[in-house]
Amino acid sequence: MARARGRFRLRRKDDLRRAALRVLGLRLALMSKFEKALPGPEAVHDLRVETRRLRAGLEFFKKALDPERSGRSETELRRIGAALGKVRDLDVLLAGLDKDLRGFSRAERRALAPFRDRGAAAALRARRALKELLESPRYRRFKKELSSRLAGDAGRGRRASRPAAKAGRALIAGRLEALLEAGEAARAGGYWPGALHRLRISSKKLRYACEFFTDLCGRPAAELAGKAARLQDLLGACRDSALMLERVRRARGGGGARLRLLLACRRRARRRREAAVRAWERFRRGAALPDPR
């Protein structure tokens, strides 16, 4: 894949159409690579990330592609991403639960066994559903159609001939502005969970924009992508804690063991939220736009 990446590198002379072919082509190639590594948890995570990157790329490059066909691809990727997200969320739940239960007594683990068993059963169903989706004729048609577009004519939207370097800088600037606005809104509202979730989405979009155009914007874009990725990871951990906390709250039975687990989840959620807020404040103070090479 390292050799393949060279085929997809952006070049200074590229217009937006050519950049779309290169960026989206790499994302699709990496999706195929991670599909072959399924069903492992890391492969599920990697495939989910590439699905998100491909969606983000289709959103940005829509004006250089056929808008109608891009819309159909985004719809299909949203469906695939939802299936991958369900598997990943249940994997995280079970891994976190197993880690928490190591500190519990045998009697407490026995009391919480039905809760874990329900999670394991849900995870198995989600994996089966994902497998069926990825083996479906609909999914194969989607990949074949998108691959054909990227290997041939990507379409000629009204901005397809715009220089890629200029378009990339504009994209990064817009994503950074949106992230800073989301951060200010979150701070004004006391960093409540919904605002932190929107902040995570904005940090993800900035990260992907920087990654798309690192070849043209150089080290500053790579550094900004790294900062956005670290912020995204911490905000993602907040979301994981919130999902775990909600599942434990809704769980039936377990008695005192469930109460102890609930308190542990609350403490972890609070620590992760505080860490994410500190990371956001550091990011906000040091955020800067990269200049093209």
The model's pLDDT over 71-112, given as tens digits with 9 standing for 90+, comes to 678 889 999 999 999 999 999 999 999 999 998 999 999 999
Q: Which domains does the chain have, with CATH numbers?
A: 10-158 (1.40.20.10), 163-293 (1.40.20.10)
Structure tokens at 273: 């939220």
* CA separation for the pair 45, 51 (Å, rounded): 10
Q: What amino acid is encoded at 195 in this protein?
A: A
- Residue-level pLDDT at 70: 62
Q: What is the CA radius of gyration of the chain?
A: 21
Question: Which segments in the chain show pLDDT lower than 70?
Answer: 1-6, 66-71, 152-159, 288-293
- Residue-level pLDDT at 82: 96
- Residue-level pLDDT at 3: 47
Q: Using the 8-state DSSP alphabet, how is residue 204 labeled?
A: H
| Cβ contact 15:161 at 8 Å | yes
| Cβ contact 236:224 at 8 Å | no
| Cβ contact 187:256 at 8 Å | no
- Residue-level pLDDT at 69: 63
Beta bridge partners of 15: 163
pTM above 0.85, yes or no: yes
